[in-house]
């Protein structure tokens, strides 16, 4: 019986990839938000770097309300179109409006404008992303099938990030070379490979710091064009699993149930530490690459970074099957922390050394992205085995909230530290204090080492191994079979 059950639950590649495709536009959005938005609003529009960091942090705090509410609504509100699909459709236009206003601001905007449209953007993102992630966890009950679902989504995330990195590359070449679109594309390879030498063609020398506005405009058009198509694909071509059980657990009680789930508490603590460390670094990445190492080809740098991440996904899938997802995740953290330690000692002009290390970190990026999400999908089964309920939406909402709070705190604190200590994003090193430049180096390199190190012990002793998960799935399967038998018996008596 189990064998037949396993066979019928194998997901088709079409279902997996149509479900995952929405990761592409969401990734195109995430990259500029982490890298280009802080640089544009502080350097390009002249707002205080510390104030920009504070606004990014405050806007994220609205998710304290919206994330748990969205998880609860998508778990409980059944429509004839499903529980998850309607929310994805509603969130798309909100996100598109937020992207348009946030990525293409008029001259002279202030902090209120930034806060308003950033908050709307985050709301649209929550309405799309949380139901979509919970939907993915429900597509299959099996440990390795869920890894496939998560890996497919992260595959599209990495493709989206490569698209997002290609847009700045094109803008860089246009600014340096001018000419027709055809000439731009023939020059792209030269611009990309210049990442390894730091030499840019400079037919028309430009200040790369002024390109943040055109880069964000190009990215906005990509997002607004691709997001509706991907929403259409996932809504039309992917079926939601049937949902028969009606949960009546209130939101606060549901949060208490989630907190009593030991593996869930551990995943939340791991996510908080790891994402805080990564966000601490990401917020100042553009400044470190451009001003400390002296590399002007930011788009080319990230293009190779995301290619490495895309190529690495099969490896992390294989390693997760071989040694368990949590130990594979531990390997990514050790590698990235080591790379960060070496980066601290690099100086201006160390182009090749930096890019080799950057590609190694990119190789780990795929594992950092999809392994924790795949771990959480398994954690939901602990609750299902105990209670019989299906609360994937609540679980993913709480994880999403944890991630967003970590991003908010990491981004806000790092930008405030380097801004208040004297780093000037408009003038770079020449206009910055010595302590400001040192703080930039410490934030970029030291953050991941500290916070990844704190997460390592939690991951090493992670209790939900593949063997234990299989036992949980067997319990759930037996209970489902008993319930189905009772339902069939009851149906027979009413005939």
Alpha-carbon distance of 331 to 343, in angstroms, equals 19
Task: Look at residue 451 and tell me if it is in a domain.
Answer: yes
Res. 204 pLDDT band, cuts 50 70 90: very low
Q: How confident is the model at residue 197 (pLDDT cuts 50, 70, 90)?
A: low
Q: State residue 22's pLDDT score.
A: 93
What is the average pLDDT value for the chain, to the nearest integer?
81
pLDDT surpassing 90 at residue 95? yes
Per-residue pLDDT band at 469 (split at 50, 70, 90): low
Helices 392-420 and 262-282, axial angle in degrees (round to 10): 30
Task: Output the CA–CA distances (angstroms, integers) from residue 319 to 232, 323, 378, in the order listed.
Answer: 33, 6, 17
CATH number at residue 284: 1.20.1250.20
> What number of residues does the chain have?
495
Choose among 410, 149, 103: nearest CA to 285.
410
For 241, residues 6+ apart whose C-beta sits below 8 A from its C-beta are 138, 139
Between 393 and 52, whose confidence is greater? 52
pLDDT of residue 483: 56
Expressed in angstroms, the distance from the first to the final Cα of the chain is: 27
DSSP for 272-327, written as a single string = HHHHHHHHHHHTTHHHIIIIII----HHHHHHHHHHHHHHHHHHHHHHHHHH-HHH
State the pLDDT at residue 201: 38
Across the range 83-97, mean pLDDT stands at 92
For 342-364, what is each residue's pLDDT tens digit? 999 999 889 889 989 999 999 99
> How far is the C-alpha of 287 from the C-alpha of 387, rounded, in Å?
49
pLDDT recorded at residue 206: 40
Does the structure show a pLDDT above 80 at 250? no
The C-alpha atoms of residue 147 and residue 414 are separated, in whole angstroms, by 33
461 pLDDT more than 70: yes
Q: What pLDDT does 472 receive? A: 66
Q: What is the pLDDT of residue 279?
A: 92
| Residue 367 in domain | yes
pLDDT at position 474 over 80:
no
Q: According to the model, what pLDDT value does residue 205 have?
A: 39
- Residue 132 pLDDT > 60: yes
Number of structural domains the chain divides into? 1
Residue 4 is assigned to a structural domain of this protein: no
> What residue ranges in 17-139 does DSSP mark as E strands?
none
For the segment 18-36, the average pLDDT, to the nearest whole number, is 89
Position 487 in a domain: no
pLDDT classification of 100: cutoffs 50, 70, 90: very high
Q: Evaluate whether residue 57 is within a structural domain.
A: yes
Pick the more confident residue, 216 or 299. Answer: 216
Please report, for residues 292, 368, 417, 426, 428, the alpha-carbon distance to residue 431 in angstroms, rounded to integers and kept in the order given.
13, 35, 17, 8, 6
Rounded percentage of the chain residues whose pLDDT exceeds 90:
33
φ, ψ for residue 424 (rounded to 5)? -110, 110
User: Does residue 7 sit within a domain?
Assistant: no
Q: Which of 234-243, 256-265, 268-277 has the highest mean pLDDT?
A: 268-277
CA distances 32 to 212, 260, 276, 482, Å, are: 10, 37, 18, 50
Q: Does some domain include residue 485?
A: no
Residue 362 inside a domain? The answer is yes
Q: Write the CB contacts of 29 (distance below 8 Å, at least 6 apart in sequence).
A: 95, 99, 121, 125, 223
DSSP labels, 383-422: HHHHH----HHHHHHHHHHHHHHHHHHHHHHHHHHHHHTT
Per the structure, the complete domain to which residue 350 belongs is given by: 13-239+251-477
Residue closest to 144 by CA, chosen among 397, 470, 477, 474: 470
What does the alpha-carbon distance between residue 146 and residue 103 come to, in Å, rounded to a whole number? 34
pLDDT tens for each residue of 440-455: 999 999 989 999 999 9
pLDDT at res. 358: 94
Q: Label residue 176 by pLDDT band (50, 70, 90).
A: low
Interval 210-228: pLDDT, tens: 678 888 999 999 999 999 9
């Amino acid at each position: 019986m189990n064998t037949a059950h396993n066979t019928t639950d194998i997901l088709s590649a079409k279902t997996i990839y149509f479900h995952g495709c929405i990761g592409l536009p969401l990734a195109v959005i995430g990259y500029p938000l982490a890298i280009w938005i802080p640089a544009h609003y502080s350097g390009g529009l002249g707002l205080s770097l510390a104030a920009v960091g504070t606004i990014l942090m405050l806007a994220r705090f609205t998710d304290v309300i919206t994330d748990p509410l969205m998880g609860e609504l998508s778990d409980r509100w059944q429509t004839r179109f499903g529980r998850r699909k309607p929310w994805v459709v509603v969130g798309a236009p909100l996100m598109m409006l937020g992207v348009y206003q946030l990525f293409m601001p008029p001259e002279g905007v202030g902090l209120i404008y930034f806060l308003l449209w950033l908050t709307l953007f985050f709301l649209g993102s929550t309405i799309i992303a949380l139901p979509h992630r919970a939907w993915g966890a429900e597509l299959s009950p099996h440990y390795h099938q869920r890894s496939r679902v998560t890996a497919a989504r992260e595959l599209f995330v990495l493709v989206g990030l490569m698209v997002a990195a290609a847009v700045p590359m094109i803008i860089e070449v246009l600014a340096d070379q001018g000419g027709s679109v055809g000439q731009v594309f023939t020059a792209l390879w030269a611009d990309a490979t210049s990442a390894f030498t730091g030499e840019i063609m400079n037919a028309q020398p430009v200040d790369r710091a002024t390109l943040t506005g055109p880069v964000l405009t190009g990215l906005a058009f990509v997002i607004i064009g691709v997001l509706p198509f991907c929403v259409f694909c996932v809504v039309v071509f992917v079926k939601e699993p049937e949902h028969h059980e009606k949960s009546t657990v209130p939101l606060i009680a549901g949060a208490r149930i989630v907190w009593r789930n030991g593996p869930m508490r551990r995943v939340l603590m791991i996510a908080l530490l790891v994402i805080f460390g990564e966000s601490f670094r990401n917020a100042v990445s553009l400044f470190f690459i451009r001003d400390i190492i002296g590399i002007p080809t930011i788009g080319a740098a990230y293009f190779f970074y995301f290619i490495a991440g895309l190529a690495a996904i099969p490896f992390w899938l294989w390693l997760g099957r071989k040694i368990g997802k949590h130990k594979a995740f531990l390997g990514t953290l050790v590698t990235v922390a080591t790379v960060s330690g070496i980066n601290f000692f690099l100086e201006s002009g160390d182009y090749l050394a930096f890019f080799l290390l950057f590609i190694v970190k990119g190789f780990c990026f795929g594992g950092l992205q999809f392994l924790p999400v795949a771990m959480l999908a398994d954690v939901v089964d602990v609750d299902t085995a105990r209670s019989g309920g299906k609360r994937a939406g609540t679980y993913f909402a709480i994880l999403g909230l944890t991630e967003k709070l970590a991003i908010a705190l990491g981004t806000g604190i790092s930008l405030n530290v380097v801004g208040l200590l004297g780093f000037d994003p408009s003038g770079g090193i020449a206009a910055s204090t010595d302590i400001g430049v040192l703080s930039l180096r410490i934030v970029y390199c030291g953050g991941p080492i500290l916070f990844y190190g704190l997460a390592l012990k939690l991951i090493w002793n992670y209790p939900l191994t593949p063997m234990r998960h299989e036992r949980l799935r067997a319990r759930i399967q037996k209970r489902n079979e008993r319930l189905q038998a009772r339902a069939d018996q009851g149906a027979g008596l009413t005939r």
